[in-house]
């Protein structure tokens, strides 16, 4: 018998699920058989994704939440459990990166805003959902970080440091929760065409410079994260924990840079 990538009878919680990478992962998990709890800040876009999942024959629960507020993270976890009984998979994808400025141009409040969403919100949701996972001795947690968590570039503060924190959190949590039957891994996307970087991609020189450093000579698409996410969520990844799967088309492989 081959590896088991199916998620039938399981429930997955996906934050930042209304668009981009989160939407693609949510649809892929549903396609693998999971019921999906969709978290985000806009009801309409969440409802749109829920309808896509239901059109596939799946079940979805769209919930608006600001997960860096601990009480809201706990509340949505409780609602998810009421709807689907057990929570098996958590994908932490919610993130923000509203700045593209030099460090001296940023305020401490700018730093706090990104850290609150990208780090505090991730940990708050992990605590809320992880409590249920620990109680039943099973779970798959997937944190979306970035190749920029290890490769700092200009104008990437505080986004890159926030993603480095998520990468470290993944490793520490994998060690803490392995005895509870929970695996914790990360996905590190490279340069993916999403709404978050739409303005940056309008700079053709920047767009082409990045493309020229990618071995596959193209920016990624949100769907490129779908397969790796399903793998890490599935029984096939039972012996994989504390690691980061890089999905960047070869960007971080310096030997692949074309001269």
Residue 128 pLDDT level (bands cut at 50, 70, 90) = very high
Flag whether 259 is in a domain: no
Residue 100 pLDDT level (bands cut at 50, 70, 90) = confident
Query: In this predicted model, what pLDDT tens digit does every residue of 232-249 receive, in sequence order?
Result: 999 999 999 999 999 999
In terms of Cβ atoms closer than 10 Å to its own Cβ (0-12, 13-18, 19+), residue 8 is exposed
Query: In the predicted model, what is the mean pLDDT of the chain?
Result: 94
Known catalytic residues are 159
Residue 258 has pLDDT above 60, yes or no: no
Higher pLDDT, 196 or 171: 171
Task: Kindly report whether the global pTM for this prediction surpasses the value 0.85.
Answer: yes
Q: What is the pLDDT of residue 155?
A: 85
Q: What is the pLDDT of residue 1?
A: 64
Domains in the chain: how many in total?
1
Q: What is the pLDDT of residue 259?
A: 43
Residue 200 pLDDT level (bands cut at 50, 70, 90) = confident
Flag whether 216 is in a domain: yes
Residue 98 has pLDDT above 80, yes or no: no
Flag whether 127 is in a domain: yes
Q: What is the pLDDT of residue 254?
A: 61
Flag whether 60 is in a domain: yes
Residue numbers of the domain that contains 162: 11-250
* Measured torsion, CA atoms of residues 98, 112, 41, 184, in degrees rounded to the nearest 10: 100
Percentage of the chain modeled with pLDDT above 70: 97
Helix, strand, coil shares of the chain, percent, nearest 5, are 50, 15, 35
Q: What is the pLDDT of residue 203?
A: 86
Q: Which residues contact 106 (CB under 8 A, 6 or more apart)?
A: 99, 157, 158
Nearest CA to 38 out of 86, 4, 89, 85 is that of 89
CATH number at residue 246: 3.40.50.720
């Amino acid at each position: 018998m081959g590896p088991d990538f199916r998620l039938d009878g399981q429930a997955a919680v996906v934050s930042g699920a209304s668009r981009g990478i989160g939407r693609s992962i949510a649809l892929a998990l549903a396609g693998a058989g999971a019921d999906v709890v969709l978290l985000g800040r806009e009801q309409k876009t969440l409802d749109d994704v829920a309808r896509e999942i239901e059109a596939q024959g799946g079940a979805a629960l769209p919930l608006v939440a600001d997960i860096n507020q601990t009480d809201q993270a706990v509340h949505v976890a409780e609602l998810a459990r009421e709807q689907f009984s057990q929570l098996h998979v958590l994908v932490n994808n919610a993130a923000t990166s509203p700045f593209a400025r030099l460090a001296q141009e940023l305020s401490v409040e700018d730093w706090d805003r990104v850290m609150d969403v990208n780090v505090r919100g991730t940990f708050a949701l992990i605590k809320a959902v992880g409590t249920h996972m620990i109680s039943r001795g099973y779970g798959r947690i997937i944190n979306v970080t970035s190749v920029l968590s290890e490769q700092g570039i200009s104008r990437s503060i505080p986004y890159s440091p926030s993603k480095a924190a998520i990468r470290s959190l993944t490793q520490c949590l994998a060690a803490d929760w392995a005895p509870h039957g929970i695996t914790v891994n990360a996905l590190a996307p490279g340069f993916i065409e999403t709404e978050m970087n739409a303005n940056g991609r309008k700079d053709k020189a920047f767009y082409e410079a990045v493309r020229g450093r990618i071995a596959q000579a193209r920016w990624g698409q949100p769907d490129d994260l779908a397969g790796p996410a399903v793998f890490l969520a599935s029984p096939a990844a039972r012996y994989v924990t504390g690691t980061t799967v890089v999905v960047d088309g070869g960007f971080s492989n310096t030997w692949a840079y074309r001269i």
